[in-house]
C-alpha cells in the first residue's frame, strides 16, 4: 500500500499534468490503461485512450488553468482492497473562462476571459505501483464562480453541518444506509456513532466548501462535505481510533470527507472518508498531510 508521501507525490504530478496545457503524455504513466473515468453528467469511460479522445478538449477549454491541492487541506487516503488506497483530493482550479465552457455550461453567468475558480473533490483509486484505476471528480456547474466571489455558506452542505450540530437526524432519510468498516447499518446507528465522541464540536473544514453534484435520472446526487470534529482526547478513544495515542484531555481535531448520497434533500447513504492515523491531530495543527 502506498504511503502518504507517495500518495501526495502522485497527486501533485496528476494535478500538474491536468493544468494548462493539459498533458496526456504525462498523465499516461500515472493511469492504468483500463482506468475507469466517471465525469459528472457523462457516460463512464473505461480506457485511458478513450478518456484522452473524449475529454482532452474539455480540459484545454480551461484557459491558463492552474490545478493544485487546496492550501492547507488534507489529501485523505484510506486502505481499500488488494493493497489499493481510495483517495479524496480537494482540488482548487483557477483559470480564465472561455466560450467553449459557456457552450458546455450555458447556465453559468461568466463571460469569456473572466478570471474564474472552482473547487472540486477528485476521487481516485491507486495501486501499489502508483497507478490510478479509477478517477471520479465531483463538481457541479454551480461551483464555477468569479475568482473574487466569496464562497456561499447557505448551500445544502451547510444544512448537513447544522444537522450534525443539532444531532436530531432531521436531514437523514429514515431508510438511509450508513456504511462503516465495510458494514451496512441504519440511521439510528449513524446517530449513535456520532455520540461516541463526548463533547464534540463540528465545523466546516477551514478553506474547503461542500460539493453536491447534479442529480441523476433517479434524482440522486453525490455529495462530499468536509467536516472537522474538535474534541478532548480520552483514553477510550485509542481503541476507537487505531494509530492514535494522545494524552488524556488533549485538544484534538479530526478532519474527514463525509461522502453522501442525497435524494430530495435527504441523506439516503453515508460513509466517512477518514484515516484516523493521519486525520486526527493536535488542535491548531494544519490539516495538510
Residue 212 C-alpha cell reads as 453536491
Mean pLDDT across the chain = 95
Which of 127, 146, 165 is the C-terminal boundary of a domain?
146
Residues 106 and 187 both lie in one domain: no
Residues 87 and 194 both lie in one domain: no
Alpha carbon distances (Å) from 140 to 24, 176, 237, 276, 282: 24, 24, 37, 29, 34
pTM above 0.85, yes or no: yes
pLDDT of res. 286:
67
> For the chain, what is the domain count?
2
What confidence tier does 154 reach under pLDDT thresholds 50, 70, 90?
confident
Residues 167 and 74 both lie in one domain: no
Q: Is residue 240 part of a domain?
A: yes
pLDDT of res. 205:
97
Closest CA to 257 of 117, 122, 114: 122
What's the mean pLDDT in 141-160? 92
What's the mean pLDDT in 124-146? 97
- Tell me the per-residue pLDDT of 123-133, one tens digit each, with 9 for 90 and over: 999 999 999 99
Burial class (CB within 10 angstroms; exposed 0-12, middle 13-18, buried 19+) of 42: exposed
What confidence tier does 153 reach under pLDDT thresholds 50, 70, 90?
confident
What confidence tier does 214 reach under pLDDT thresholds 50, 70, 90?
very high
Residues 66 and 160 both lie in one domain: no
pLDDT of res. 287:
67
Residues 107 and 234 both lie in one domain: no
Residues 142 and 8 both lie in one domain: yes
**DSSP E strands, the chain:** 31-37, 63-69, 76-79, 85-96, 115-126, 132-138, 145-146, 172-180, 183-185, 201-204, 211-212, 220-232, 251-263, 266-273, 280-282
Which of 100, 128, 146 is the C-terminal boundary of a domain?
146
What's the mean pLDDT in 24-35? 98
Amino acid at each position: 500500500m502506498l504511503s502518504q508521501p507517495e500518495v501526495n507525490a502522485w497527486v501533485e504530478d496528476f494535478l500538474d499534468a491536468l493544468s494548462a496545457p493539459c498533458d496526456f503524455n504525462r498523465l499516461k504513466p500515472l493511469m492504468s490503461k483500463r482506468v475507469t473515468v466517471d465525469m459528472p453528467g457523462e457516460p463512464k469511460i473505461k480506457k485511458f485512450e478513450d478518456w484522452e479522445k473524449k475529454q482532452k478538449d474539455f480540459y484545454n477549454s480551461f484557459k491558463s488553468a492552474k490545478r493544485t491541492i487546496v492550501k492547507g487541506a488534507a489529501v485523505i487516503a484510506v486502505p481499500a482492497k488488494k493493497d489499493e488506497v481510495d483517495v479524496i483530493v480537494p482540488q482548487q482550479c483557477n483559470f480564465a473562462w472561455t466560450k467553449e465552457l459557456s457552450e458546455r455550461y450555458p447556465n453559468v453567468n461568466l463571460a469569456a476571459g473572466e478570471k474564474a475558480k472552482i473547487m472540486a473533490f477528485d476521487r481516485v483509486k491507486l495501486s501499489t505501483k502508483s497507478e490510478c484505476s479509477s478517477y471520479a471528480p465531483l463538481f457541479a456547474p454551480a461551483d464555477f464562480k468569479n475568482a473574487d466571489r466569496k464562497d456561499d455558506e447557505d448551500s445544502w452542505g451547510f444544512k448537513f453541518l447544522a444537522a450534525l450540530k443539532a444531532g436530531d437526524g432531521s436531514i437523514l432519510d429514515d431508510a438511509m444506509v450508513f456504511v462503516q468498516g465495510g458494514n451496512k447499518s441504519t440511521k439510528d446507528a449513524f446517530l449513535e456513532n456520532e455520540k461516541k465522541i463526548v463533547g464534540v464540536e463540528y465545523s466546516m473544514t477551514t478553506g474547503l466548501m461542500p460539493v453536491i453534484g447534479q442529480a441523476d435520472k433517479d434524482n440522486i446526487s453525490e455529495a462530499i462535505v468536509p467536516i472537522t470534529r474538535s474534541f478532548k482526547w480520552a483514553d477510550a478513544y485509542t481503541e476507537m481510533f487505531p494509530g492514535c495515542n494522545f494524552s488524556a484531555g488533549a485538544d484534538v481535531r479530526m478532519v474527514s470527507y463525509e461522502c453522501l448520497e442525497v435524494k430530495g434533500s435527504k441523506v439516503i447513504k453515508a460513509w466517512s472518508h477518514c484515516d484516523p492515523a493521519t486525520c486526527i491531530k493536535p488542535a491548531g495543527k494544519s490539516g495538510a498531510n
